[in-house]
Amino acid sequence: MKIGIVGLGLMGASFAKALKRYTSHTVLGLDRDPAVRESALHDGAVDEVHEDPAFLSQCAVTFLCLFPVQTVAFVKENLSHFQKGSIVADICGIKGYVVNALSQMELPFIYLPSHPMAGREVCGYHGSLESLFVGASYICTPVDAPQYAVDTLESLVRSIGFTDFVVTTPADHDRIIAFTSQLPHVISNAYVKSPSCSKHNGFSAGSYKDLSRVAKLNEEMWSDLFLLNRESLLSELDTLLQNLAQYRDALAREDRDALRDLLREGRIIKEECDQ
């Protein structure tokens, strides 16, 4: 089967490399950067690489590995190039905006909105890994798509290492992802703005590394994701700020009992969520 990858950045190139490593499918890539196209061919990440999207007419499955606004623009500009009846999955980190925009178009393909729950603290082709998706979860938010298409996508992504395939709605995806992904990126990025951050060497271990890891982000992409999921992220931020205020107030009052109760409550919630 011929599989198209639109955008050979971190995620797109990782999809391409994984497909080449773990399957026998033919991988056709598209990227506007000549240096990326050259690297992808040289590394064997793709069988063919293109600048012109006309090749998409050959692809039974296409992964759109672009930012949300770019994804919508690309589909709108290239509708005539997609193979009729093929499966097309975007991998954007928010679903509502993309799904709503594409639902306004007459699509010649079967659209499967999706989101691979994997990534790194680097961006671009040279950060890509064939093993990036091993053990990861893949979220699919089909809207009126036939079951055989969902099954085809599930089989394909499991073949490159994904172990969980979660089917949900675009709205539920965006609500939950605001908590599990977007909020941690805000927290981490704000955390390292403390003047103490520059002095952490020799004083930090796992806690610092865990909390600061995703502060090293792609600000262009994450700004778009935050704004396109604004209401859900604002709700999570409001909840966090209310909770933080309780800890701060207990400290300010030197109220050990209140502080202990808050910490116990958080520990119990975490233990229950992990069961």
Strand partners, 70: none
Other C-beta atoms closer than 10 Å to the C-beta of 187 total 16
In angstroms, rounded to a whole number, what is the distance separating the alpha carbons of residues 87 and 177?
Answer: 24
Mean pLDDT of 198-212: 87
Distance CA 167, CA 112 (A): 11
Asked if the domains at 2-168 and 173-274 fall in one CATH topology, the answer is no
The residue ranges of every structural domain in the chain are 2-168, 173-274
Instruction: Write out pLDDT tens, residues 224-260.
Output: 999 999 999 999 999 999 999 999 999 999 999 999 9
pLDDT at 76: 97
The CATH H-level (homologous superfamily) assignment of domain 173-274 is 6-phosphogluconate dehydrogenase C-terminal like domain (1.10.3660.10)
Distances (CA, A) of 132 to 64, 127, 138, 193, 247: 17, 10, 12, 29, 37
Q: Does residue 122 surpass a pLDDT of 90? A: no
* Residue 206 pLDDT > 90: no
| Fold (topology level) of 2-168 | Rossmann fold (3.40.50)
